Structure 1
């Protein structure tokens, strides 16, 4: 089994990046380690951070019945912010996990443990990404700005969670779905129950997809003492995934019901199609699940971009109905 001495490919590519990704092929050579540090060569994580933002703003539009030019900026600003904050979070994660990453086959080729970049450079890159994201956040209403600042707390804690709890995926869910709260609040000016239910749905969804993801590393994690839901659940993982599936659909359904304008029955039915259809996608993932097939696990994890886009489509149609 590869240990700390594992070295990256001569090109500097990261082991679990998409083959032939744009960073490896087209980015300036000096920028590549920084972009890899931000996971720009693995965009699915940015999608998973951005999708709850889209859910939040679209459900808020559905709730209020109002759509304006500022909503277009919320959508665009959250997209840029998701890219930047996912990059900053991953950079911080790699700084704190640099010794662990060097001992895990899948992560030993990352920029810090492979020697492509040092800790000081990585920290400066994280700060730069946060500052640009903060500049975007300042264009939102004050309640959304406050929420955005508070979001830094779970981002800072998450890399350490696997050292003290078997449920680090909960901390990831807290951080990754904050956009549902922020985007709703950016549109409405206040935090309300539909946003909270939507946030809870996203958190449970994160438990679903990140447990699948964590099964790739369970052998290495066991050797170095890193905790995860994959190790905790073991062969009972499908049972827990089924529970997370039901929780995701139920909580998102509640968010839709609480957000629905009175008397808009057709729009309500359309919006409820979002969690219903997403649930079928999660069921499809479970049917294809093979806990010891790393390629299949990575494929299923990545497919959650499509799973999360399903409610986006239904919420958008409902908002226009």
Structure 2
């Protein structure tokens, strides 16, 4: 068993200090687990939920019949494979991001103790680790149909280019939305073998959801970002952020409702969407843009929003 106190002495400030990484992982693996953010699972949830939503929606779209509704379940094997894939590829994305941001992370108090800027993992070691994660991700991807494989390969373009967007635009959160919600297309394609409008609308709605939650997250670093020349929607929108969140989250709720309606979901779905919308309104109401702890709490609460949407889709089938 590892010594958590020893690891926490050099751990990044944004680590989850109660994580299993610090309590149980062998000492030699801790820097690599921190590099792939295994100690911070919220990113995996945010990447995973669009996958699970689309699998559940597509399962209803393809298999629902009045006479066999009681036998409905989303594809369990797909849910498991996408969960593992999201964990692995979110880790790979974090490695790519940290390789691109070594110099920037070294200048930000919250990130300067991450494995790469602190020197606990070398660039060469990070590249080898990235290769291993990508290989594992490929093995998972090959379990699906050709359409999913094509979409998975296309997603690599987004994964590689996203980390550089903060250098050239104040809207890197939009490009994160393109990347993190790609699973809405892949999950649908896994079930149906193609893409239909509900999956595309779900994908677009997810982009606006990401614009909202990652703008909240970016308010943690806005002072450091301004000093080192990194751009974000937090800097762009400033004090008008709450008004923009109403727009982002409002579009999210509308598009998710349309996607569910197009697949024929019942009343239970709409009740759930109302609950999810209340959750988003709570985020806006509770936002304190200069309170980093509050921003982080609201950002992490989007895991619960994702769970509400997933439960709403299931409820929309049965009720």
TM-score (norm 1): 0.93
What SS class does the counterpart of residue 112 from structure 1 fall into?
helix
Correspondence 1:196-211 to 2 at 5 A: 196-211=200-215
C-alpha distance after superposition, 1:146-170 (max 9, x if no partner):
1111111111110000001110001
C-alpha distance after superposition, 1:262-298 (max 9, x if no partner):
xxxxx42222233322111011111111000011111
1:223 Cα deviation after fit: 0.4
> Which structure 2 segments of 5+ residues have no match?
1-5, 65-70
Residues 1:245 and 2:243 aligned together: no
Q: Give 1:276's match in structure 2, choosing from 274, 277, 283.
A: 274
Q: Identify the range of structure 1 (103-112 vs 13-22) with the bigger mean alpha-carbon deviation.
A: 13-22
Residues 1:235 and 2:239 aligned together: yes
State the match for 1:62 in structure 2: 60
Q: CA contact under 8 A between 2:100 and 2:163: conserved in structure 1?
A: yes
State the match for 2:303 in structure 1: 305
Q: CA contact under 8 A between 2:60 and 2:72: conserved in structure 1?
A: no
State the match for 1:38 in structure 2: 36
1:124 Cα deviation after fit: 1.0
> Which structure 1 segments of 5+ residues have no match?
1-7, 261-266
Q: Distance in 1 between matches of 2:276 and 2:177?
A: 18
1:63 Cα deviation after fit: 1.2
Structure 1 residues 281, 243: closer, same or farther in 2, change over 3 A?
A: same
Q: CA contact under 8 A between 1:59 and 1:319: conserved in structure 2?
A: no
State the match for 1:130 in structure 2: 134
Correspondence 1:1-321 to 2 at 5 A: 11-65=9-63, 71-260=75-264, 267-321=265-319
- What is the RMSD computed on CA atoms of the aligned residues? 1.6
State the match for 2:68 in structure 1: none
Q: Distance in 2 between matches of 1:317 and 1:238?
A: 31
1:65 Cα deviation after fit: 2.5
Q: CA contact under 8 A between 1:273 and 1:311: conserved in structure 2?
A: no
1:68 Cα deviation after fit: 8.2
Q: Distance in 2 between matches of 1:273 and 1:92?
A: 40
Q: CA contact under 8 A between 1:58 and 1:319: conserved in structure 2?
A: no
Q: CA contact under 8 A between 2:268 and 2:317: conserved in structure 1?
A: no
State the match for 2:67 in structure 1: none
Q: Distance in 2 between matches of 1:82 and 1:95?
A: 20
1:318 Cα deviation after fit: 2.3
